[in-house]
Amino acid sequence: MNGTVFTFGGNASHADPRQKDKAVVGGKGANLAEMAGIGLPVPPGFTISTEECLRYLKDGAGFSETLRSDVAGALTHIETTVGKRFGDDADPLLVSVRSGAKISMPGMMDTVLNLGLNDATVDGLAATSGDARFAWDSYRRFIQMYGDVVLDVDHGLFEEALEIAKEDAGYFTDTEMTADDWRALVGEYKRIVREELGRDFPQDPHEQLWGAIRAVFDSWDSERAKVYRRLNAIPRDLGTAVNVQAMVFGNMGDDSATGVAFTRNPSTGERAYYGEWLVNAQGEDVVAGIRTPQYLTRAAREEAGAVPLSMEEAMPAAYGELARVFDLLEAHYRDMQDIEFTVQQGKLWMLQTRSGKRTAKAALKLAVDMVGEGLIDEKEAIRRVDPMALDQLLHPTLDPDAPRDVLTTGLPASPGAASGKIVLDADTAEQWAGRGEKVILVRVETSPEDIHGMHAAGGILTARGGMTSHAAVVARGMGRPCVSGASAISIRREQRTLTIGNRDLSEGDVITIDGATGQVMAGQVATIEPEMAGDFGILMEWADRHRRMQVRTNAETEADCRMARQFGAEGIGLCRTEHMFFDASRISAVRQMILADDERGRSAALAKLLPEQRADFAAIFAVMTGLPVTIRLLDPPLHEFLPHDEAEFADLAEATGRGVEHLKRRAAELHEFNPMLGHRGCRLGITFPEIYAMQARAIFEAACAVEGDAPVPEIMVPLVATRRELEILKALIDRTAEEVFSEAGRRVDYLVGTMIELPRAALMAGEIAAEAEFFSFGTNDLTQTTLGVSRDDAGRFLTAYVEQGIFARDPFVSLDIEGVGQLVELAAERGRAARKGLKLGICGEHGGDPASIAFCEKVGLDYVSASPYRVPIARLAAAQASLS
């Protein structure tokens, strides 16, 4: 073979190292080969590599003769191993066709089961199995799945036909359907296909196979897959592999079953088997939430008060074998495993294993526990936890003492709590969230097409499905609270109304869900702040031990400073003084200062602001005693502070004694066509030096007044493009410092530096470093000025740029390392060459982005600065960067 089709199971060799490379065969293909290689019961099959997917998408959806020949040879391997022939009417080989990318994307790409069935082979399957009901059930499942995935027939048409058939027969469940019922439904399904497509359902098994392979490759570029990749920063150029595997059947009677399980609890990290199973069913029934499944273990069933027997009780032999496999796989991969299995007539088969998606709480517990168990070491534990997942732990949860109006209780599918307005479809969730409303997406069950609405929603609630359903798995991966299988929910989609328990509600009504207990409550429930101890504290202690860079915070209020210190911030990397000017009690004085006709008028207004600014800095310094505090002098264009309506102009006229028309004329004079590149930043300090002098005085007076260890003010001059600008303003700051120190009878250490946020400043960093004692890279503006893109307007086109691969990620979320990063690297190199020991940091939004932090480590920056809630994320990401 040419190295793009790999067989596994049976007597296949698993020696080719490419067969264990997830970039080549995807995570599923690599793990199937690995499981087969260590002797686990894996149905034989083959994997078509991701390279073939990328070639297919690039070359226009065709298959080479070489690939067709290799697939034929791989099919022969399966036929030889199981003793059946593909397309044989008397004893047919049936296969499953599944996707499998390098990075797991649960539910985002396509799967087809029971492939190879047609009007002739269904009779052969009935004869060899001795069970006509099973054969016709499998055939209707195949038509339904193939019709939806490959032929693009609306799956709702098949669901509706099934519900009508059950209703006509007086049945409540699928299991009541007889062989004749399924045979009749197959006829109806084929009629639907003919009516929708104008052609018959394909009967040639080989045509079916290549149609399914094509559908899996195409699903890599489906809208839901694109959204998932964008949300999880997964590159488009990975592609997906295709796994073709001999079918094993969980729907062959009461001694057959299917299930999904985790070797530990993916919500809490508890060391207990966690999962669900269904008797006489196929895997999609569990994963897609079509039927609400049963508990895997007796303990879980008893805790939930459920009646149907657990697998441990109903199939003790198969469960015992499964438990042995759990332990073997976890020890082999040294991580919690997410496993799909089937029991066919009492025999256990393994269909998949992968490292399981987990909540942040579970990730922490797993990492800490596995170090304690000797499975992994401290460094591996640090690497194991996704820094962005910590965001789940840093926000409030429901107050256990708050009153709750419980409407119903479902399954606790993904922990956390959320309140919001009910929305009944994904598009509405996205629209309402886009206008700033908090929403809870309520569905009968979710499907991969709902991914955009699930991301927009604060929480997810479903009437059907279990704790391993699509909704649960995706919600856990996103950090969204989820309650599934809440069967007391009845949705009337047309009327946009629903009933939960005995309460009638409408879209737009507020509910609260608790993903830790499964409770669904009317209205909004009070919350409490998170607890930062336990496993979180242990992992953060390990991270601090292994990181080189410091982590500071972006904060300008006492409350934010205290929160950041609680989260482990080691100082302030950006205090934006303009935020202080917007306070209602001082905006009038700010406006008087801006609209004054001369320096005398400005100085009078600034005299009113000085005690306010001093008090601001005193409060911050009290929290940050002994730590560095980087304070950016006034940066935004002055027009941002001006009145906007008649009432505000009238109030200002009364305060200043000037006429409204005079003030409007003065405001018009300050108008700028492109204020982002206008009279702002250090340009304000050059033209109105009294503004920066007042701010410097406030900083030094507050620092001198601190009792005990003085903070270390780092005064940052923004938007510098030339050495001379900084030279003039540094002299002003130094003069002010000496005046204050003389008056106070006390000196404090301080630094004067600049924000590198213009390409010219980066290029001239060597010259600027002659005046600057530190550089802080303001990557928000540096990105804007380098790319020529306005951050405030970029939303109109950046999504398209990311989807089409122009940018790997939104450059305002994750640093453009190739372009903007090159300027940062160059400025750091030239700055340190000119001034030994020049302190370097980053203070844009990128300071809380793990990929950007890894780049900062590579360049050798001294610190990153992030918003308070992102400080723990930055601490962990900095440790991972150091270790790598």
Task: State phi, psi for 107 to the nearest 5 degrees.
Answer: 80, 0
- C-beta of residue 571 within 8 angstroms of C-beta of residue 841: no
- C-beta of residue 217 within 8 angstroms of C-beta of residue 240: yes
Residue 551 per-residue DSSP state: E
Neighbours of 794 (CB within 10 A): 17
Q: Which residues of 346-382 are buried (b: 16+ CB within 10 A; e: fewer)?
A: eebbbbbbbebbbbbbbbbbbbbbbbeeebbebbebb
Structure tokens at 874: 């930055």
Structure tokens at 309: 């027997």
Question: Is the Cα torsion angle 159, 163, 166, 171 positive or negative in sign?
Answer: positive
Maximum alpha-carbon separation in the chain: 102
Taking the C-alpha atoms of residue 876 and residue 363, their distance in angstroms, rounded to an integer, is 13
Q: Show the 3-state SS of 281-314.
A: CCHHHHHCCCCCCEECCHHHHHHHCCCCCCHHHH
User: Virtual CA dihedral for 226, 286, 47, 115, nearest 10 degrees?
Assistant: -110
Residue 15 per-residue DSSP state: -
Element (H, E) at 639: none
Q: Name the residue type at position 277.
A: W
User: Virtual CA dihedral for 83, 86, 91, 94, nearest 10 degrees?
Assistant: 90
Q: Which of 14, 77, 455, 470 is catalytic?
A: 470
Sequence-ordered alpha helix ranges (H) in 96-222: 121-129, 132-149, 155-169, 179-197, 205-219
DSSP readout, 32-77?
A: HHHHHHTT-----EEEE-HHHHHHHHHHTS---HHHHHHHHHHHHH
Whether 644 sits among the annotated catalytic residues: the reply is no
DSSP readout, 164-191?
A: HHHHHHT-SSGGG--HHHHHHHHHHHHH
Taking the C-alpha atoms of residue 883 and residue 858, their distance in angstroms, rounded to an integer, is 11
Sequence-ordered alpha helix ranges (H) in 296-396: 298-304, 311-314, 316-333, 360-372, 378-384
Residue 228 per-residue DSSP state: H
Which residues touch 517 (CB under 8 Å, ≥6 apart)?
409, 412
Whether 843 sits among the annotated catalytic residues: the reply is yes
User: Virtual CA dihedral for 171, 175, 176, 179, nearest 10 degrees?
Assistant: 120
Pairing of strands 751-756, 774-777: parallel
Q: Show the 3-state SS of 390-419.
A: HHHHCCCEECCCCCCCEEEECEEEECCEEE
Q: Which of 682, 704, 843, 856 is catalytic?
A: 843
Structure tokens at 535: 């496993």
Residue 842 per-residue DSSP state: E
Sequence-ordered alpha helix ranges (H) in 657-720: 660-669, 682-687, 689-705
Instruction: Catalogue the active-site residues.
Output: 470, 843
